[in-house]
Amino acid sequence: MTQTSGELPIEEIVRRKVCGHLAAIYPDRDREEIARELLRAMRLDEDCQTPQSHRNLWDQTDMVVITYADTILSGDRRPLQALHHFLKEHFTMLINSVHILPFFPYSSDDGFAVIDYKQVDPALGDWNDILRISTDFHLMADLVINHCSSQHRWFVNFQEGKDPGRDYFLAVDPSENLSGVVRPRTTPLLRAVSDGDETRFVWCTFGHDQVDLDFRNPQVLLEMVDIVRLYLDMGVRIFRLDAVAFLWKKIGSRCINLEETHEIVRLLRTLIEHADPNAIIITETNIPNRENLSYFGNANEAHCIYNFSLPPLLVNSLVSGNCRHLKNWLMSMPPAQNGTTYFNFIASHDGIGLRPVEGLLSDDEQEALIQTMENFGGQISWRALDDGNRKPYEINISLFDALKGTTAGEDQWQLQRFTCAHAVMLALEGIPGFYLHSLVAGTNDCRRMAEHGHNRAINRRQWQEGDLNRKLADPDSHHGKVFRQLRHLIRVRRNQPAFHPNATQFTLHLGEQIFAFWRQSMDRRQSIFCLNNISDTPQTVLLSSINLIGTDKWKDLISGRHFEDMLGSVTLAPYQTLWITNQ
């Protein structure tokens, strides 16, 4: 039976909501007709669910592994099957979600120049492999929404004047003033396309093989919604909206974070949550912190936003031995209201972004960080500025190598520093996301970077499953040591209500070498004081400075150590973490 709300059928309520979104996006179009097509594409005319407002779709057991489909290779299995086998062997009952980076046929950018959104790359497997993974893990997949490959059928048809695709892309007069357009790359914004009789210049935010789609044409939106429906049918529960901040273009504007872009996110939220109330949207917006926060909307846009400022600020703290900027940032972050939360990560398939620390780190501090990362084998990727100059955009380096020392050089604390970084991520408000290479302590892959010809390949190593398993089982290898310690931290986190992604969080002030914060469970029964020594020297903390209540019994969840003298002190070794709890 159709669900209802009040006197109106739920289908009618959703139709009106969709029309409201469309009125803001396409004020001069027939929104009733577009709404009918959208609802039909999502099958909401057949089965329309009622999502619960401000409901948390996650708890402290939710964690994500981020990986390419072909990170794990095995001679007798297809890559998706090998990945599934590896995940089940090592992460069952530990990590319940997996983000498989684009697994579609592609032409460049390791999957983000999609040739066909509706196929699984045959070199990786097929939709049955995806469905099998989705039965064992919550599946997160990319909706590469801003652009497609220049080899996509739509763009081929655009060049030939055929449908579908003839009017799916944005052609611009190169004499227009486009100097204010925000760019994440240094390549020219426009690509010349000639059919013999006419040359057109199409918009390419990320590069000439990744041609931007023109969402001013409602048919492009309909195509994307049809793809969303397919992904839901194939078991996708979490939608990562790739590069969504650049979606809408207006000549004369910065062409980023425009109101139409936000409205399209709100529309997708309405359609997806009424098709599956348990589905989640995450916006990938690698932009300054305040702009990033805007994608929460009023709990009506993204369920989760990436905490893009966390990786560079945390790495900076650990290599400088000073957490002042990290602490100031944490104090400035608003608590996510119920139904929304942060997606925390400290490493990914891309680099350590520098745009998210604009206004947080000074130019000199950024330069010191960049120099340190280059000393540890890192590379720098650049973006173009409107004055024709360029500026560092991201640091490309494996996180394990990024933390092999401090600004003073390499030292003996790499393993401890690396573990501390993950302990911080696990304890913060939000859902933690582990890049698979970090879970296994992968190092810089300079050979792959040279072979592929781009900096990001330095942190995209492929592993033979048997070889990696041997490294993880070896008690003397750094891979095995890190893996065991991170698995221990994950097990501990899963059982703590105070680590719920929406549990209370307050920043503590214990100096610039101790990064500390307090978490309290939503029922207020459990407190956890998270103390992290981010320096290479021991640090002593008075227990009275964190106000442990004398009537409670306190212990460190990581080591099992008990604290009975509330007027005493505790000394943290370099890069040690304590999770002091009353339960």
What is the pLDDT of the chain when averaged over all its residues? 96
Q: CATH number of the domain at 147-212, please?
A: 3.90.400.10
Which of these, 303, 299, 298, lies nearest to 280 by C-alpha position? 303
Can you list the positions of beta strands (E) in 57-159?
64-67, 72-73, 97-100, 138-144, 147-149
Q: Is the pLDDT of residue 495 over 70?
A: yes
Q: Is the pLDDT of residue 4 over 60?
A: no
If you ran DSSP here, which 8-state letter would residue 109 be given?
G
Give the residue-averaged pLDDT of 332-339: 96
pLDDT in tens, 46-78: 999 999 999 999 999 999 999 999 999 998 899
If you ran DSSP here, which 8-state letter would residue 265 be given?
H
Q: Which residue has the tokens 């398993």?
A: 469
Q: Is the pLDDT of residue 569 over 90?
A: yes
Instruction: Give the per-residue pLDDT at 1.
Output: 36
Give the residue-averaged pLDDT of 193-204: 91
Can you list the positions of beta strands (E) in 176-224?
190-194, 199-203, 210-212
Spell out a b/e string for 153-174, using b for 16 or more CB atoms within 10 Å of the CB, else e: ebbebbbeeeeebebbbbeeee
Q: Where are the domains of the chain?
A: 147-212, 504-581
Cβ atoms 239, 343 nearer than 8 A: no
Distance CA 279, CA 64 (A): 15
Give the residue-averaged pLDDT of 465-475: 97
Catalytic residue chosen out of the listed positions 62, 121, 129, 242: 242
Distance CA 215, CA 170 (A): 9
Q: Is the pLDDT of residue 2 over 80?
A: no
Instruction: Give the per-residue pLDDT at 127.
Output: 98
**Better pLDDT: 253 or 5:** 253
pLDDT in tens, 140-179: 999 999 999 999 999 999 999 999 999 999 999 999 999 9
Cβ atoms 515, 498 nearer than 8 A: no
Structure tokens at 292: 């990033």
Q: CATH number of the domain at 504-581, please?
A: 2.60.40.1180
Cβ atoms 25, 267 nearer than 8 A: yes
Known catalytic membership, residue 411: no
How much of the chain exceeds pLDDT 90, in percent? 93
pLDDT in tens, 502-548: 999 999 999 999 999 999 999 999 999 999 999 999 999 999 999 88
Q: What residues contact residue 353 under an 8 Å CB cut-off, 6+ apart?
A: 286, 308, 311, 312, 393, 394
Q: Is 126 helix (H, G, I), strand (E, B) or coil?
A: coil
Q: For residue 6, what pLDDT band results from cuts at 50, 70 and 90?
A: low
Cis ω on the peptide bond leading into residue 164 (within 30° of 0)?
yes
Distance CA 380, CA 395 (A): 5
Structure tokens at 122: 């045959």
Which of these, 380, 375, 316, lies nearest to 346 by C-alpha position? 316
Structure tokens at 303: 């369920």
**Which region among 123-127, 309-313, 563-567 has the lowest average model confidence (pLDDT)?**
563-567
Q: What residues contact residue 521 under an 8 Å CB cut-off, 6+ apart?
A: 496, 497, 498, 500, 503, 504, 527
* Distant-in-sequence contacts of 29-38, Cβ < 8 A, 24+ apart: 29/218, 34/218, 34/221, 34/222, 37/222, 38/221, 38/222, 38/225, 38/267, 38/271
If you ran DSSP here, which 8-state letter would residue 571 be given?
E
How much of the chain exceeds pLDDT 70, in percent? 99
Fold equal for 147-212 and 504-581: no
Q: Is the pLDDT of residue 113 over 80?
A: yes
Which of these, 7, 32, 6, lies nearest to 21 by C-alpha position? 32
